[in-house]
Structure 1
Amino acid sequence: MDYVNAFWVGGLICALCQILMEKTKMQPGRIMVLLVCSGAVLGAIGVYPPFVEFAGAGASVPLLGFGNTLFKGIKEAVDTNGFIGIFMGGFTATAVGISAALVFAYLASLIFEPKMRK
Structure 2
Amino acid sequence: MFVFRMIIPAFLVGGVICVIGQLLMDLTKPSFTPAHVLVTFVTGGAILGALGWYKPLIEIGGAGASVPLSGFGYSLAKGAMDAVSREGLMGALSGGVAATAVGIAAAVLFGYLVSIAFNPKG
What is the match of residue 17 of structure 1? 21
Matched, 1:56 2:62: yes
What is the match of residue 72 of structure 1? 78
Matched, 1:99 2:100: no
What is the match of residue 34 of structure 2? 28
For residues 101 and 11 of structure 1, what CA distance do their matches in structure 2 show? 23
> Gaps (5+ residues) in structure 1?
none
Identity %: 51
User: 3-state DSSP class of the match of 1:37?
Assistant: helix
For residues 45 and 88 of structure 1, what CA distance do their matches in structure 2 show? 20
Matched, 1:5 2:4: no
> Gaps (5+ residues) in structure 2?
none
Runs of 4+ in structure 1 over 2 Å off: none
Matched, 1:115 2:121: yes
How many residues get paired? 116
TM-score, normalised via structure 1 length:
0.93
Matched, 1:37 2:43: yes
Q: Deviations over 1:40-84 (max 9, x none)?
A: 111111111111010000000001101110011000111111111
- Shift in Å, 1:8: 2.1
User: 3-state DSSP class of the match of 1:83?
Assistant: coil
